[in-house]
Structure 1
Amino acid sequence: MAILLLQGSFYFPLLLLLLSPYSAIAQTYTNIGLGSSLTALDDNRSSWTSPSGEFAFGFRRIGGSEYLLAIWFNKIPEKTIVWSANGNDTVEKGSKVELTRDGQLVLTDANGQPTWAAMYSAPNRVSYATMLDVGNFVLADKDSVHLWESFAFPTDTMLPNQALQKGVMLHSRVSGTNYSEGRFRAILRGDGNFVFFTMDFPYWDTKSTLLGNGSQVIFKEWGAIYLMRGNGSLVPIIRPDRIEANEFYQKATLDSDGVFRIYRYPKTISNVSIGTRTWFVAADSSLPQNICARFAAVVGSQNVPLRASPYCGFNSYCVMEEEDKPQCKCPSGYDYSDSDDEVLIGGCKPNFRPHVCNEIGSEQVAQDFTFIEVLNMDWPQFDYFRQKETEQECKEDCRRDCYCAVAVYQRGFCLKKKQPLTNGWIDPSLVEIKSFIKVAKDPVQLEANPSKKNHSGMSPKGEIVLGSLAVLNLIIFSAILLAYFLLIRRKAPVHQSVTTIPKSFPETEEITNLRNFSYKELEEATEGFKEELGSGASSTVYKGFLDLGNKPIAVKRIDKVVRESVREFKTEVSAIGGTNHKNLARLLGYCNEGQHQLLVYEFMSNGSLADFLFKSNSKLKWEKRMHIAMGTAKALLYLHEECNVQIIHCDIKPQNILLDDYFSARISDFGLAKLLKLDQTRTMTGIRGTRGYVAPEWFKKRAITSKVDVYSFGVVLLEIVCCRKNVELDIEDESRIILSDWAYDRYREGRLNSLWENDEDARKNGKMVERFVKIAFWCIQEDPLVRPCMKKVNQMLEGVLEVPSPPDPSSAL
């Protein structure tokens, strides 16, 4: 009988497989074999579950027809998602995830195109996958050694028993329903500092809060989060009330508002104190506890640039409301810039005509304006005027000053602020601070009670008036446009290859931080375009001076105003005009006057990286080349993941990496850049870029993603290491003509150091140089899915992530 039972238990799983479809539908598997797959279906039940059924891995439908490959709590009605593979790039019905016969975990869309794959160095060792009861999905070898696990690649959430290693990052979502990466990040850096930041702007860390540095961040099952130091001791980061693990589900999430919170969910109704079973925030578990105050403190104590991601968007303020949740609001007299802004970070704009200036002073009478007094409100940044005055003197100063948007009165001092206002906040602790917000007296343009506004912030009367004005303006504009067109037609025919750009085009209308130069100004600044710095296919760059010759500038003039160069001009203004990063060339302004299109950049005294790699007799020291590579990588990470709009540069090469006075990298020339919409991660477009730096997918009519920049960066990284071009046709030794092929041959032979044998400085830093070359090999992989994203590239460059042995990057040249 015992033998029969054993035989039955052995064959029972096989019998189940024979009686069920091959693609699993919410079945419990201990091990998931090679060749297994799941398909995204309408019934939302395509998953592999853990042995207890507590967690599931598979497809979850979000919205109408979009699917996430995700992990979720499987035994609660909300089915709360704790990890996803493709939050930035959802797939449709019919998509499939497969553990292939050769050990790859791959997500393909309904057309069979790969969209995501788990990255690990030895897929041929994978024997099976499994969904563990702790919420960790793993790929393991025959000895149960984990080769890849979801715990090592978290999204916005940690689970009990999970540890963040150095270099591993959490990122917030855009919102509760949008799983794309949001603005906020948390990372345990290589030095052991656990940091929360937005863009490159840190707002909380363990080092400055005296908690110190650590080797891991650990979420213990009793509900606390600790920093583990090198000696194994634990320092609490968040320590709410201790609980029994079998009574509550738990998760720690970096929420879309930038606050890291521990959530709990009663496993049974007996553990519910009030109401029904639902997620709640554990007491004293929010970090930072008051993010409004935290942002205000940081920007008030650091030299934070104007466009460095204010918490609530420009001209808006932050206030803590019920359950310690931050809210972003508009001051009285201001409306949301975007009424559809899901997370209210787009900022606010005046709903009246602001006080404007011209060359001789104010265009409006100061008495047209009044003030709304708000107690306990501060705007901690960028006061351009600070003087001891009475309240009345402060208000009158601001009323007469056409630049003044808000006057902050603080302990007898008047601080005047210009627009755009940044990082405003209200808090009861600001007892000696009040703000006077300057608004128009006109009751049609200014709603008296902002709390009664509709979502657009407009009164019904205002909507009628503005609606009528809009129709009238449209009629007038159409008439002018028609008259202008007829006049041009009567004068002379224009050659078909020439395109005239309208005086104001949409891409630049909203870029308020750029100066609009006249052509005469730039002609004088360059002394008639006298000193040429360089030229390209459709543009030439000249040196000039502003401010009576004190400020050098670089003026890029579009030489041939054809349709393609017009598009490049618009693209460049749109792309770089809305960015702010220390490793991007700074666009100061533009000229768009008839047939003249020019861009004005800050002048880079050391020219381009190409000058020092390919032309200079003396090589840059390795340390400088290393910093140039890392600066370029940081700029690409910013463009790909930290901008409001994702930007694919499409033409990364040494000629487009400029060097400032300190040899810091500045990416330039955005004429070929591709701007993606908020819901896009890929695009179809014609071939762009420079031969030798162009990714293979450009030639295969495949969708283009940010991985094309990763490829180009990999080529540049090899050139930085070897101080030579990727393709040199005049080399006698044919094996060395293509740098990437030659370099990988040396790597395979174990003679990688021969690449820099004549570079004494690089030889002294051999380990680091070798790491950079291996990173370059990963970047230039032919399959874009195998290439790392720029976030991973940065982590590997900084040494916080190990660089696996790279496979052979097949040359696409």
Structure 2
Amino acid sequence: MLNTGQNLRPGSQLFSSVSESNHAKGKYYLGNQQDGNLVIYPAGTIDADSSYWSTGTSNRGLLLTLSLDPNGTLWMFDGNTSFTKTLFLTNQSSGAAPAVENYYCLTLDADGVLRLYSHVFLRLEGKPTIKVAWQVPGDRCLVKGVCGPNSFCQLTMTGETSCSCLPGFEFLSTNQSTLGCWRTLPISGCVRSNNSSNEETRMMATMVEVKNTTWPENPYDALPVTTSIEDCKLLCLSDCACQISMFSDSYCSKQMVPIRYGRISGSNNTLFVKVYTYRAIQRKKIAGAGAMLISGATLVVLSLVVLSGSVFLICRHKRSLRYMRAPQLYDCKVDGDIGLQSYSFQDLDVATNGFTQELGRGAYGTVFKGVLANISKEIAVKRLEKMAEEGEREFHREVRAIARTHHRNLLHLLGFCKESMCHLLGYDYMPNGSLANILFNSDVRPSWSKRVAIALDVARGLHYLHEEIQNPIIHCDIKPENILIDRSGIAKIADFGLAKLLIGNQTNTLTGIRGTRGYLAPEWSKNTAITVKVDVYSYGIMLLEIISCKRSMELKRAGSEYNISEWAYECVMFGETKKVADDACIEEAELVRMLKVGIWCTQNMPVMRPAMKSVVMMMEGSKEVRQPPRPASFSQS
């Protein structure tokens, strides 16, 4: 709350509360940015795509202070110039009745709306009259985050907000509709769209139309402007990755879920949502009454056999229960729909020839090369070490969560083994090794275009982990050693999900530093919660290493360790970018853009770092990269 006579200075923030009765930090904040812009964001974001109101005063070289005068005037001013901007000017006359007193306060309410309240006191009455003198935004559905992922906002007759799920989705919680929605039938990959009448059909995908809604675009593929609305629907239906297609003014784009910040509007946009349904099983009919009689008799006999077998197994099971340890009662069975293989220890021992060919060691364990002889497939087997005390069900649940993450830039988990104290994970084998080997241990420096492609691959993979799955995953150890290169030169992030598997709930980790020296975000050493922004920091350090082909920890100045982001900042400021990367074929504009992205990612404060979605857009050149502030020194000794 900003009271009369108070100022919100540059770099300061005003947070909403959770509710009127709970004054803890809520879902939204008003930030007075160092670029001179006053912006409202959902908590945890700073990228321009997530903001839903601003004063539009950025990039003028001003440091503006927000001030609320006792007379109710809300304005911004720069202490070094004569620049001012009035946001609200009260119409209260100077000759107001002496029996009336006005008191003003500016509040970012729990619903994300910024309101200027006028408290009118009559001196003969103790209770004030409270009015809203000014508010932004005017439409409460313009507040981003009022409804969760895969749902859209609409105003009721009373002016309240109401959230609705997209077709094929249902609320995460029936009691809290603002949390968003998830699919009623979780799907990954392709399903059959049709079959012959005599074959079993498990699922069918159809496109359901949603009109008069507005959504921010986050396409992974844009189709030619000549595409018709019907083609837009069919092209998404035939694409395994496409979950939603958006058509507007002859422009069609393909989207993945989750999709956010939707609202009812009068726009002419048309949304097509892929909806999955089960189909009834159809089988060939058996002709003739004789065949029916035979089938019935067969069923009776089979029933008796099954009943007898069941009684035998139950009796045997009761006798053996007292000899089994409780954890072993949970068998290594995994959902078949995610294609995860349950290996025995003997399977992997044979495949790796007794775990003899070591590929590398990391924070989570040792990796060995193996071959599955039955299918002649090369694999990499990671033997997990220093496991947290997890129950069988918890271990299997986390492994399934890792297996359900499918992305071009994530290392694919093939299967696992959990026997006694042994925890093994089987992955696709990456013949080209790690990014660390390519950057630091090779006689030939990789080309600039190849380095940019790898950096983009990793950024897209992190964007998926942070923002595109139902339960975001914080990697906690992004570094070149954990980026592997496949046969086609595509970069894949390894070891994702293992931090949570080994150390428990990572979203509220306040102690126990995880990661590698040189890539650790400052908040690891502070008493603050760990968020996805620790990965953004580590990525920024790694991006600068990719650009320079130099390790951050190897940079020295005056005999001491030198922060790579500070070095990059000085090179940009003094026009000496060729010191960072001296490749002759590099365009300087592209090099500067990449360096700025790395500097933004390594800002000391998590809130100043961009989301990975913005990182991808800036690196692709579809979003402007503003001049970053100087990164603060941070020692990881």
TM-score when scaled to structure 2?
Answer: 0.60
CA displacement 1:324-343 (0-9 Å, x = unmatched) = xxxxxx667xxxxxxxxxxx
Q: Which residue of 2 aligns with 1:125?
A: 63
Preserved contact between residue 515 and residue 588 of structure 1 (Cα < 8 Å) = yes
CA displacement 1:95-117 (0-9 Å, x = unmatched) = x85759996758899xxxx8666
Per the TM alignment, residue 536 of structure 1 is displaced from its structure 2 partner at its CA by: 2.6
CA displacement 1:504-562 (0-9 Å, x = unmatched) = 48996798521001111112222222322112355221111125463211111236778
**Residue 446 (structure 2) aligned to one of 577, 597, 620:** 620
Q: Which residue of 1 aligns with 2:192?
A: none
Secondary structure, in 3 states, of the residue corresponding to 2:534? helix
Per the TM alignment, residue 752 of structure 1 is displaced from its structure 2 partner at its CA by: 2.3
C-alpha distance in 1, partners of 2:331/2:59? 49
Comparing both chains, which one has the higher relative contact order based on Cα–Cα distances under 8 Å and sequence gaps of 6 or more? 2
Which ranges in structure 1 are unaligned for 5 or more consecutive residues? 1-20, 25-30, 42-58, 70-84, 87-95, 131-136, 160-170, 215-253, 265-281, 296-310, 318-329, 333-370, 374-390, 395-440, 443-468, 487-500
Matched, 1:783 2:605: yes
C-alpha distance in 1, partners of 2:481/2:417? 24
Secondary structure, in 3 states, of the residue corresponding to 2:425? strand
Which ranges in structure 2 are unaligned for 5 or more consecutive residues? 49-57, 69-73, 88-135, 155-164, 184-214, 226-231, 288-298, 301-309
Preserved contact between residue 259 and residue 287 of structure 1 (Cα < 8 Å) = no
C-alpha distance in 2, partners of 1:696/1:562? 25
Q: Which residue of 2 aligns with 1:579?
A: 405
Output the amino acid matched with 2:578. N
Preserved contact between residue 357 and residue 369 of structure 2 (Cα < 8 Å) = yes
CA displacement 1:354-392 (0-9 Å, x = unmatched) = xxxxxxxxxxxxxxxxx569xxxxxxxxxxxxxxxxx54
Residues 722 and 100 of structure 1: CA distance in aligned 2, closer, same or farther (over 3 Å): closer
Q: Which residue of 2 aligns with 1:211?
A: 250
1:117-516 paired onto structure 2 within 5 Å:
124-126=62-64, 128=66, 142=83, 178-180=177-179, 186-187=216-217, 201=242, 203-206=244-247, 211-212=250-251, 262-263=264-265, 287-288=270-271, 291=273, 295=274, 311-312=275-276, 317=277, 371=281, 392=285, 483-484=323-324, 502=328, 504=330, 512-516=338-342
**Residue 692 (structure 1) aligned to one of 518, 534, 543:** 518
Output the amino acid matched with 2:521. A
CA displacement 1:568-593 (0-9 Å, x = unmatched) = 97697244222111100000001112
1:520-539 paired onto structure 2 within 5 Å:
520-537=346-363, 539=365
Output the amino acid matched with 1:126. L
Secondary structure, in 3 states, of the residue corresponding to 2:554? coil
Output the amino acid matched with 2:217. I
C-alpha distance in 1, partners of 2:282/2:595? 60
**Residue 723 (structure 1) aligned to one of 549, 563, 572:** 549
Preserved contact between residue 363 and residue 515 of structure 2 (Cα < 8 Å) = no
Preserved contact between residue 585 and residue 601 of structure 1 (Cα < 8 Å) = yes
Per the TM alignment, residue 60 of structure 1 is displaced from its structure 2 partner at its CA by: 6.7
**Residue 470 (structure 2) aligned to one of 644, 648, 653:** 644
Preserved contact between residue 545 and residue 552 of structure 1 (Cα < 8 Å) = yes
Q: Which residue of 2 aligns with 1:753?
A: 578
Preserved contact between residue 540 and residue 558 of structure 1 (Cα < 8 Å) = yes
Residues 101 and 655 of structure 1: CA distance in aligned 2, closer, same or farther (over 3 Å): closer
Per the TM alignment, residue 795 of structure 1 is displaced from its structure 2 partner at its CA by: 1.5
TM-score when scaled to structure 1?
Answer: 0.48
C-alpha distance in 2, partners of 1:259/1:101? 26
Per the TM alignment, residue 749 of structure 1 is displaced from its structure 2 partner at its CA by: 2.2
Per the TM alignment, residue 775 of structure 1 is displaced from its structure 2 partner at its CA by: 0.6
C-alpha distance in 2, partners of 1:652/1:627? 17
Preserved contact between residue 183 and residue 199 of structure 1 (Cα < 8 Å) = no
C-alpha distance in 2, partners of 1:781/1:693? 13
**Residue 485 (structure 2) aligned to one of 651, 659, 662:** 659
C-alpha distance in 1, partners of 2:318/2:531? 39
C-alpha distance in 1, partners of 2:478/2:534? 9
Per the TM alignment, residue 657 of structure 1 is displaced from its structure 2 partner at its CA by: 0.5
CA displacement 1:9-36 (0-9 Å, x = unmatched) = xxxxxxxxxxxx9648xxxxxx997469
C-alpha distance in 2, partners of 1:803/1:476? 69
C-alpha distance in 1, partners of 2:533/2:539? 10
Q: Which residue of 2 aligns with 1:802?
A: 624
Residues 697 and 256 of structure 1: CA distance in aligned 2, closer, same or farther (over 3 Å): closer
Per the TM alignment, residue 744 of structure 1 is displaced from its structure 2 partner at its CA by: 1.9
CA displacement 1:257-314 (0-9 Å, x = unmatched) = 99977546xxxxxxxxxxxxxxxxx9xx5723x63xxx3xxxxxxxxxxxxxxx45xx
Output the amino acid matched with 2:63. R
Residues 588 and 203 of structure 1: CA distance in aligned 2, closer, same or farther (over 3 Å): same
C-alpha distance in 2, partners of 1:39/1:713? 28
C-alpha distance in 1, partners of 2:543/2:421? 39
Secondary structure, in 3 states, of the residue corresponding to 1:792? helix
C-alpha distance in 2, partners of 1:22/1:643? 37
Preserved contact between residue 259 and residue 286 of structure 1 (Cα < 8 Å) = no
Q: Which residue of 2 aligns with 1:744?
A: 569
**Residue 532 (structure 2) aligned to one of 697, 703, 706:** 706
Preserved contact between residue 744 and residue 808 of structure 1 (Cα < 8 Å) = yes
Preserved contact between residue 332 and residue 342 of structure 2 (Cα < 8 Å) = no
Preserved contact between residue 478 and residue 519 of structure 2 (Cα < 8 Å) = yes
Output the amino acid matched with 1:789. A
Output the amino acid matched with 2:514. R
CA displacement 1:568-620 (0-9 Å, x = unmatched) = 97697244222111100000001112233211101111111000111001111
Preserved contact between residue 46 and residue 609 of structure 2 (Cα < 8 Å) = no
CA RMSD of aligned residues (A): 5.5
Per the TM alignment, residue 690 of structure 1 is displaced from its structure 2 partner at its CA by: 0.7
Residues 699 and 602 of structure 1: CA distance in aligned 2, closer, same or farther (over 3 Å): same
C-alpha distance in 2, partners of 1:33/1:259? 31
Per the TM alignment, residue 647 of structure 1 is displaced from its structure 2 partner at its CA by: 0.7
Output the amino acid matched with 2:420. G
Residues 186 and 565 of structure 1: CA distance in aligned 2, closer, same or farther (over 3 Å): same
Residues 561 and 751 of structure 1: CA distance in aligned 2, closer, same or farther (over 3 Å): closer
C-alpha distance in 1, partners of 2:23/2:388? 40
Preserved contact between residue 153 and residue 264 of structure 2 (Cα < 8 Å) = no
**Residue 600 (structure 1) aligned to one of 400, 422, 426:** 426
Residues 802 and 553 of structure 1: CA distance in aligned 2, closer, same or farther (over 3 Å): same
CA displacement 1:476-507 (0-9 Å, x = unmatched) = 99997764459xxxxxxxxxxxxxx7574899
Percentage identity across aligned positions? 34
Output the amino acid matched with 1:546. L
Q: Which residue of 2 aligns with 1:518?
A: 344
Per the TM alignment, residue 566 of structure 1 is displaced from its structure 2 partner at its CA by: 10
Per the TM alignment, residue 674 of structure 1 is displaced from its structure 2 partner at its CA by: 3.2
Preserved contact between residue 796 and residue 803 of structure 1 (Cα < 8 Å) = yes
C-alpha distance in 1, partners of 2:430/2:567? 33
